């Protein structure tokens, strides 16, 4: 079983026409933020981002380009 690599996190900016998807977090810190989370140990950043987006939204996504590393 793979564990989390707590030093690497990914966030996806999901765009629909002129809108950006934001999630209201109910755990600390309580805020609005784009979907994302921590990578599993050894997980590719693209695969991890797709997994996190799907886990939080049930949406499958295509990654257009990284914004920051």
Given this model, what pLDDT does residue 2 score? 66
Whether residue 68 is contained in a domain is answered as no
What pLDDT, on a 0 to 100 scale, did the predictor assign at position 39? 92
Token pair belonging to 37: 């989370």
Q: Kindly report whether the global pTM for this prediction surpasses the value 0.85.
A: no
The whole-number pLDDT of residue 6 equals: 61
Give the domain extent around 27.
4-57
Task: Name the domain count of the chain.
Answer: 1
Structural domain contains residue 63: no
Residue 48 confidence (pLDDT): 93
pLDDT on residue 65: 87
In a domain, 65, yes or no: no
The answer to whether the beta carbons of residues 24 and 16 sit under 8 Å apart is no
Q: Which residues share a beta bridge with 28?
A: none
Residue 69 lies in a domain: no
Per-residue pLDDT, 4: 61
26-64 per-position pLDDT tens digit:
989 899 999 999 999 889 999 999 999 999 999 999 999
């Amino acid at each position: 079983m793979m564990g989390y690599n707590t030093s690497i996190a990914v966030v996806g900016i999901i765009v629909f026409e002129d809108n950006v998807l934001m999630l209201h977090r109910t755990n600390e810190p309580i805020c609005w933020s784009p979907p994302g989370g921590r990578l599993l140990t050894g997980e590719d950043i693209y695969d991890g981002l797709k997994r996190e987006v799907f886990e939080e939204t049930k949406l499958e996504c295509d990654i257009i380009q990284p914004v920051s590393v």
